[in-house]
């Protein structure tokens, strides 16, 4: 039997993202290494140092946000990879995934990493996704108010970036685990 390495759940963004339109934060190539800000979450995906040529195979994402039951938000996942070879490194973004999420009554716990004011999405619909992406949306199966998730290949990117268009929700974020 083959085993899978996995990490614990972690928050994509240390504070929830409150952007209201994907176009307010255009994702374009840059010579500056991508970092997190108030409008985006960025995580290191590919290893560094001795593990510089290794990265997890896939990322498991569980979206959540603040707002009311049935509020909606959209999320985009970008991969960043360096283009090396000259004195100036170019960072090139690639859209991996765009999903629409519907919040539920499934909430976190007061004083925990995900608070009782955060609602997990129970419905996820892919707008853009590789054919290998797996989406489990309990609400579409008649099981409302249980957390939905998406599994997508990390595609060997150096960094992964999450952006949010909060639509009706107050804010958005996601848990992730590396597999």
pLDDT tens per residue across span 24-77:
667 899 999 999 998 899 999 988 776 778 889 999 999 999 999 999 999 999
Q: Are 76 and 97 in contact (CB under 8 A)?
A: yes
Separation CA 111–CA 101 (nearest Å) = 24
User: 149-175 pLDDT, tens per residue?
Assistant: 999 999 999 999 999 999 999 999 999
Separation CA 27–CA 55 (nearest Å) = 23
Model-level pTM?
0.94
């Amino acid at each position: 039997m083959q085993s899978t390495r996995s990490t614990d759940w972690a928050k994509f963004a240390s504070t929830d993202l409150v952007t209201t339109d994907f176009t307010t934060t255009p994702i374009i190539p840059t010579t500056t290494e991508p970092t997190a800000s108030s409008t985006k979450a960025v995580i290191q995906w590919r290893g560094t140092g001795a593990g510089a040529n290794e990265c997890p195979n896939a990322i498991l994402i569980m979206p959540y946000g603040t707002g009311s039951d049935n509020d909606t938000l959209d999320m985009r996942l970008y991969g960043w990879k360096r283009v090396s070879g000259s004195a100036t490194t170019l960072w090139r973004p690639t859209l991996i995934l765009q999903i629409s999420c519907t919040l539920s009554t499934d909430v976190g716990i007061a004083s925990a990493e995900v608070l009782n004011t955060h609602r997990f999405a129970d419905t996820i619909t892919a707008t853009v996704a590789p054919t290998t992406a797996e989406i489990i949306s309990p609400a579409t199966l008649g099981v409302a108010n249980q957390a939905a998730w998406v599994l997508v290949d990390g595609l060997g990117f150096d960094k992964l970036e999450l952006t949010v268009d909060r639509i009706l929700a107050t804010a958005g974020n996601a848990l992730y685990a590396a597999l």
